[in-house]
Chain A
Amino acid sequence: MLSVADLKKGIKLTIDGDPYVVTHFDFVKPGKGQALYKCKLKNMVNGSTLDRTYRSGESFEPASMDERDMEYLYKEGSHYTFMDQQNYEQVVMEEDAVGDAKNFLLENTKVSVLLFGEKPIGITLPNFINLRVTDTAPWVKGDTSGSDSKPATVETGYVLRVPPFIEEGEMIVIDTRTGEYSTRVKE
């Protein structure tokens, strides 16, 4: 258990069964009375925030977080299934928790899954990921329209802007942090 003395920015606590991270912390002692420990907290699953004021003597359950290397297996409805690389255990994550990462997930992609207890609450992708272009307008040589990018759809269904010379069927590198085109893969 944690005590008020452990409270500071960045500490993770469990409140009503959900993991929260302390985003702001202050210590006050109004009128030379009891100390108050004031926290702003952010829910690590849904991003909602709350204010809490604690007194000395209160204790907290730390939010034990674990990050594990997993492989994405498949999607069924709004459920994404991943498999732990070490013990072959499978975990199922809701689409909401997967978030924008779903744009870059292909079967067998290696990701890092953040677990709160047994519950998966988020995933981290490699910074760069290779995906094949499945649909884009052909490059017209000698095009002088001046356009320096065009839309392209990749094999996950994600649509992004790519340079005009990218052809259908080509493999490109996408920066998963920004969702933008990075470079072409020479095959």
Chain B
Amino acid sequence: MKRSFCATLVGTPRCGVRGQRSALSLPLLFFLASMVSLNAQTVVIGSKKFTESYVLGEIAKRALIDTDIPAEHRQGMGGTIILWEAIRAAQIHVYPEYTGTIAEEILKDSSNSREKMRAELAKFGVGMTGPLGFNNTYALVMRRREAQRLDVRSISDLRDHPELKIGLTHEFLDRRDGWPPLRGRYQLPQQNIIGIDHALGYAALAKGSIDVKDAYSTDAKIAENDLVVLEDNLQFFPRYEAVYLYRLSLSPSAIATLKKLEGTLDEARMTRLNAEAERSKDYSRAASLYFQERGASPAAGGGESFSHKLVRWTVRHLELAGISLLLAVLAGIPLGIVASRGGPIGHVIMAFTGIVQTIPSLALLALLVPLPFFGISARTAIAALFLYGLLPIVRNTATGLQDIAQPIRDSATALGLEARARLRKIYLPIASRSILAGIKTSAVINVGTATLAALIGAGGLGEPILSGLNLNDHITILQGAIPAALLALVVQWSFDFVDRFLIPKGLRL
């Protein structure tokens, strides 16, 4: 598997549907985190980071709430591994999954019957509903006109057209059930094959740069771009029927509610809901459409107002950035003091904080998520932000202290002040400007980086940014990006203001 763990964590649409066979088998430590699980009465629903999963998550939430069971939806938590570990640890209680993924990626045994799968899942305290009704499997698609012209209806028909150019997602090129065995089964002769990003692939297909591409059979883009799905006449692709996985410990009424959703979503309807979600940029609206079509009343207050959402995101964002900054200050200043003395320990501290800074935020999250205590929670986001916030504070504290002139140090020592008193009464106040500048840098970085918390469902202004990226919708991205930028500015200004009180007057003259 060449795709990184990050991709699994974020669950790009490309790799998200089935997740991946991960090179990194997550340690079995999640159960520790489960000890601090959420409010027991609220059913927590997770979803993977792509449109269909969001919509299915919303549908489950609506269904539960309509039967008076409190439910909460943590949108877009990542890929298969993360969701699976989270449900095993009871950090979440329900999430939508696909039978093919359960067999191939979770239980790692594709020969299982559905009953056998149920029994295997039960060992982890997890249950599985019956299929919701649609099969979202891989498919090969072509432009409708081209397919009609060449009279291609099934994958076998491709054998007669070796000149066709094929563009495949990188994951599909690699998968165990992807291109190499597909080509073998159908004896496909095409030589012109390129790897291309999923979203870009649609554009390339529309423009005619490629003729055939891989897709998910319920992908809204298929109808949108007037494409046809080639029939899998040799039944190569395994079935990827959508189901809900749930904790067996859920209340019988909650389980009954989920089971009522079985068989209610055929492919056409799911495709329509996906299209609606991508058109309206609103998943709960797409879920409402599902209930409307089934004759239920439209969601009562289902759509949260923008201002309400903005307040929720911003408050969460400030929480994440604020707590992590506070911790970074509490740890950073003492570390900076130790580092300012140099020596091997000082070097280790500086090296550590420096190296942390070079780890991409996604990778840092990926490293933290498997650890006990962290998992998929705000704690992980705060820990990552804390680590990023350390460097400026440690470095500025250390250099601020090191820059104190020798005569000042000599005078402080010669007075007979004890080491602690020298630090507290003389050195730290003199270094205060530098230390505060470091804290300010950390604060601004944290406010900016806190957007990554959304990657693990911890909320904040990253939430609209991520959904916007996923929906390719600039307005939604800006709904998060602009407030985040403004917040960073406000933080900067408030620190400039605070400087006046915290930096001794004698240093500001």
Answer yes or no: are A and B bound together in one complex. no
Chain B positions near chain A (C-beta within 8 angstroms): none
Chain A positions near chain B (C-beta within 8 angstroms): none
